[in-house]
Amino acid sequence: MRVPFISLAVLAVATQAQEVYMTTTGYSARPQCTQSNVTPKYHFQPFSYTLNETVRYATSVPSPTTTRKYAAPYTDVVKHLTTTWSTSTWGSWVPDQTSISATDTKDPYGQAAWSSMWLQADLHNYTTTGLFSTTVSPTPVPSSELVLPPRDYFGPTDCYNFPKDFVFGVAGSAAQIEGAIALDGRGPSLLEKLVSDSEPKDYVTNENYFLYKQDIQRLAAMGVEYYSFTIPWARILPFALPGTPVNQQAIDHYDDLIDTVLDAGMTPVVTMLHFDSPLMFVASDNITKLPDIGYNNAGYQNETFVDAFVNYGKVLLSHYADRVPIWVTFNEPLLYAFNFKGADHVVKAHAQVYHFYHDTLKATGKIGIKFNDNFGVPKDPKNSSHVLAADRFQEMQLGIFANPIFLGKQYPKSVLDTLPGAKPLSKSELKHIHNTSDFFGIDPYTATVVSPADEGIEACATNQSSSNELFPNCVKQETKNVYGWNIGYRSESYVYITPTYFREYLFYLWNTFRSPILVSEFGFPVHAEAESEELSDQLFDSPRSVYYLSFMSEILKSIYEDGVHVMGALAWSFVDNWEFGDYTQQFGIQAVNRTTQQRHYKKSFFDLVDFVKARQPNKD
């Protein structure tokens, strides 16, 4: 049985053991010590130098003996499809080269039409120059790179193991690591227009499009079990719309990528859309940044979007659902759909893809959706207006998608009363949308401290034409608590180390939306890491280790002490990448030499994997 939305006021009573704000003064109690009153006895002993570090090696994932199937292969699926897809291939777009002068101008989906999309994209400073132009064969990871680093002095102490079916792995997204944007038939996307010409673009990034075999081998060598990656819509369907040809080169590329993951002993997790909407959906001269929310006019509200996305989802599932057990339809849609029509389209498109996966394909894996929401905690938990502001923040961030999908409930009243053009779902729509996610995906990087807008929430929310930068959430977000302390240790970006808030958040999500939780991204860009002159200083990233180990410890407590079903956790990111115009916010657990594309394991990678491996039960 599903229950209604649980307010933070109710949760505050249920989670008193996790209260963040101290109500008493004095020192924190120390652990019980059995020898606290023993008198020390001083004495001399012979001295000799000793090796403090024990050399250990990361353990690779064992090669698979069998491959589990989760749906019928494409050759069988295609017999049951009402529509099938023609395939084609295109060349690569390079300014002033032959692909622009293609002669098949009468073909609406030919080389000339494909090239014209890139001309319309009007890229500045575009270059295809990278180190590689074909897939690179992997080489074994030297054992010298797999020696574990020295431990930090303090670390988590617990007595828990992760459940046998716990999903642990790492994540990345195509737009941020692949490069090769206009090669092998890929069409232009929103992300080629997103950042200003003065900032680094996604043209080359990590060249993972050519280096994926080596990247996968490096993950397997560290013992990673799940690899979460994304597939670019514009690479699979350059012209995006139903009825347009599928890019056969792209189908073959991701077919091989999935097989490479499986052959390495890992399990693939695939996200269909990670910010990289095909540019044709977007008024590219009208992409606007909304303060603290995301990007508007990013294509989700386009009238053709739902049918086009569903068609794209069917292409992916028909080809790959037999080997991929976990699927995500949308990544963090709030950032690119924060207007009512965009959010409404996301909810309806997601539900259709879910039904195709389970009802048509009869697939036995899992498919869901994942959200972004830095947990909003009231600045003053004793102030009812602050608690209501936090409740509203959660409704606007999560309820707009999660209410209909997980609870079969109407869009939150705060959404219907605030967003221009908002209208409720019909009973038949709610019935179709309800229970269309097998897990609740969340990217809970950090927390945010919430209080009402100065003029009050209602005054802000009722003025839909308001220029108030807090509209439509109409709450203030801060990084300091009511006593002026930062909420945690600060990173290079908006992320603070907030593990106790994270545990409270898991409690809130589980008891509100009643679905297994997949922590689908979480990570920490160490402050000024990119400025380190010595590579060894970048690699010894103890603050990131603290972040990961504290969050993983709180997951264990959440599972065993709070009864929360946390399905798994995927670390972001498996390598330093392109953070949408920025290379200084380094979220990776591997460093990248931007000249040579060489990867280097960071300490946090070893610490994170070591923490999980030490707490895994025998799976036999």
Does 529 map to a domain? yes
Does 609 map to a domain? yes
CATH number of domain containing 535: 3.20.20.80
- How many residues belong to the chain? 620
Does 1 map to a domain? no
**Which pLDDT value is given to residue 1?**
45
Domain count, the chain: 1
DSSP letter for 6, please. P
Q: pTM value?
A: 0.93
- Number of neighbours of residue 217 by Cβ within 10 angstroms: 18
3-class state of residue 442 by DSSP: strand
Cα–Cα distance measured from residue 613 to residue 438, given in angstroms and rounded to the nearest whole number: 26
Mean pLDDT per block of 10 residues along the chain (620 residues) reads: 45 39 53 70 86 77 87 92 92 73 90 91 84 95 93 90 97 97 95 86 96 98 97 97 97 98 97 94 57 52 92 98 98 84 96 98 98 93 96 96 98 95 97 98 97 94 79 95 96 97 97 98 97 96 98 97 98 97 96 97 97 85
367 — phi, psi (to 5°)?
A: -140, 135
Contact assessment for residue 254 and residue 231, using Cβ atoms and an 8 Å cutoff: yes
The tokens describing 75, both together, are 């050759």
DSSP letter for 190, please. T
Does 70 map to a domain? no
Q: Which domain holds residue 337?
A: 128-372+438-446+487-614
Closest C-alpha to 601, from 213, 88, 251, 218:
218
Amino acid found at 498: T
Does 16 map to a domain? no
Contact assessment for residue 535 and residue 527, using Cβ atoms and an 8 Å cutoff: no
**Which pLDDT value is given to residue 546?**
98
**Which pLDDT value is given to residue 63?**
84
Does 54 map to a domain? no
Does 39 map to a domain? no
Catalytic residue among 207, 225, 332, 521: 332
Distances (CA, A) of 459 to 186, 307, 517: 47, 38, 35
- Please indicate whether residue 145 is annotated as part of the active site: no
The tokens describing 617, both together, are 């039960």
DSSP lists the bridge partners of residue 486 as 480
Does 459 map to a domain? no
| Residues sharing a CB contact under 8 Å with residue 464, sequence separation 6 or more, in sequence order | 418, 419, 420, 471
**Which pLDDT value is given to residue 52?**
65
Buried-exposed string 574-584: b where 16+ CB fall within 10 A, e elsewhere: bbbbbbbebee
